[in-house]
Amino acid sequence: PNAANLALWAWDKEADSLHDFVPNYLKRVEAEENWLKNHTESGESYIKRL
């Protein structure tokens, strides 16, 4: 489809919530893979309050 038809189609479509968007990546980035190797999942949050 051309851009004009795509814009007209999207005009009537209701916007989705950005908070519900979860990306589906084909592969994790190297930094995340290395972090997961070094940090086992303990069930507790890794974020600490100051």
Q: Which two tokens stand for residue 27?
A: 């592969």
Contact 39, 46 (CB under 8 A): yes
Q: Is the pTM of this model over 0.85?
A: no
Amino acid 46: pLDDT: 65
Residue 30, pLDDT score: 94
pLDDT at site 14: 81
Cα-flanking dihedrals φ and ψ of residue 37, to 5°? -65, -40
Residuewise pLDDT in 10s, the chain (50 residues): 589 988 888 888 787 888 888 888 889 899 989 988 887 776 666 677 66
Closest CA to 10 of 22, 18, 21, 2: 2
